[in-house]
Copies of this chain bind each other. A is one copy, B any other.
């Protein structure tokens, strides 16, 4: 059997000018987008798109959080390390660590839910399709190290 179980991804990224605030540091809202970028890269790595054309399910966010330790500045290169820490029937939970040259910049969490996607109907939680759930495996540990 092959290792078709993805648990984590490390995204390499550079700070862009439009992500900065007047103090010259990345605005805190951007870390949530960085985390999502890493999540979608993890899905691609697993051979999936999180939002393919004509999809019958979607994955809205249920909760998201970040603790900020140090700022990121213009043109700095950094890494976004995301890890699947739990897969339930209808939800996936991730942990995330942002680092710059090994220094801890920010730590985050993200929980997403699987919902059916019918036009003009309220979103309703449904089980994650097997062909998606089977691609991922929760990591043994949620502790991300720099």
Contacts and interface: CB of A to CB of B under 8 A. Distances in A.
Question: What bracket does the count of chain A residues touching chain B fall in?
Answer: 35 or more
A116 to B, nearest CB: 12
A72 to B, nearest CB: 11
A40 interface: yes
Interface stretch (A25-33, A81-89, A94-102, A132-140): A25-33
Given A17-B21, A63-B67, 7 more contacts: A16-B40, A23-B60, A25-B60, A40-B75, A44-B75, A49-B75, A53-B73
Interface of A: 16-18, 20-25, 27-30, 32-33, 36-37, 40, 44, 49-51, 53-54, 58, 60-68, 71, 73-75, 117, 119-120, 123
